[in-house]
Amino acid sequence: MNAPLFWPARGAGASEAIVLALPKGRLLGELGPLLARAGIEPDPDFADESSRRLRFGTNERGLEVVRVRSFDVATFVAFGAAALGVVGSDVLAEFDYPELYAPLDLRLGRCRLSIAAPEADAASSDDGSRWSQVRVATKYPNITRRHFAARGVTADVVHLSGAMELAPSLGLSRLILDLVQTGSTLRANGLVEIEHVADVSARLIVNRTALKTRPDLLGAWIARFRAAVAG
């Protein structure tokens, strides 16, 4: 009997298959060619955005993929629900989970974390460098607090899940800390970058305990991803 093209996901309770957590949204689109180079072909339903399934088999019997929100990829892998994942380095820095090992830069989803302010404020002589406290809207409260604390400034964080760029014009905060790639979202909202915080790209992440208990299997997957990035 021939092997099926796509092995079915085995459902809750199955423990042998390695689970790879992938982020929905913009990274998923960029990931397709890399997964193909790594020899991973998810069940066709995976690419169907109208499908309500979240867990999918692949062409590899020992590998399943799950599709979750970008921030949740780090949580699924940190808690060992998935052994492998793909996530932006912005998310890794925000959570700083000690259980996560990030052995590989996938060289996708490249952008930066920056602080931005309204154009008019950035041009004024008061550049904010003498403030002891500042209100900042962001999806990254931990990164924001750490960044300002290192400069002796207390960040009063307004935690949003998106549309940070609206905050200054509506009086919610003076500054924002967000991702910038082309800068067009900032420009469209009258904001300018005033400080670069960190470069960002997508990373392969691995649960450290899983790596200890299944070193050969996970080591082989890391090697396949490494070859896919190089090739």
Ligand X SMILES: O=P(O)(O)OC[C@H]1O[C@H](OP(=O)(O)OP(=O)(O)O)[C@H](O)[C@@H]1O
Ligand Y SMILES: Nc1ncnc2c1ncn2[C@@H]1O[C@H](COP(=O)(O)OP(=O)(O)OP(=O)(O)O)[C@@H](O)[C@H]1O
Residues near ligand Y, by CB under 6 A: 23, 25-27, 69-70, 88, 90-91, 109, 111, 161-162, 179, 181, 200
Choosing among ligand X, ligand Y, none, which partner's interface includes residue 33 (Cβ < 5 to 8 Å by kind)? none
Q: How far is the CB of 164 from ligand X (least distance, A)?
A: 7
Q: How far is the CB of 165 from ligand X (least distance, A)?
A: 6
Q: Hey, what long-range contacts does 97-102 have (CB within 8 A, 24 or more apart)?
A: 98/208, 99/207, 99/208, 99/209, 100/74, 100/205, 100/206, 100/207, 100/208, 101/205, 101/206, 101/207, 101/208, 101/211, 102/203, 102/204, 102/205, 102/206
Quote the CA–CA distance of 180 and 112 in Å, as a whole number: 5
Binding test (CB under 6 A) with ligand X, winner from 15, 129, 132, 184: 184
Binding test (CB under 6 A) with ligand X, winner from 10, 24, 26, 214: 26
Q: How far is the CB of 205 from ligand Y (least distance, A)?
A: 12
- Residue 182 contacts ligand X per CB under 6 A: yes
Measured from the CB atom, is 58 or 75 closer to ligand X? 75
Answer yes or no: are the C-beta atoms of 161 and 180 closer than 8 Å.
no
Instruction: Give 118's contacts (C-beta < 8 A, 6+ positions apart).
Output: 168, 169, 190, 191, 192
Q: Cite the DSSP H helix spans in the chain.
A: 26-37, 70-78, 89-95, 119-123, 141-149, 184-188, 208-213, 215-230
Q: How far is the CB of 231 from ligand X (least distance, A)?
A: 27
Where does this chain touch ligand X (CB under 6 A) — which range of 48-56, 148-156, 176-184, 201-209? 176-184
Binding test (CB under 6 A) with ligand X, winner from 24, 81, 135, 185: 185
Among positions 155-174, residues that touch ligand X (CB under 6 A) are 162
Interface ranges with ligand X (CB under 6 A): 26, 162, 178-185
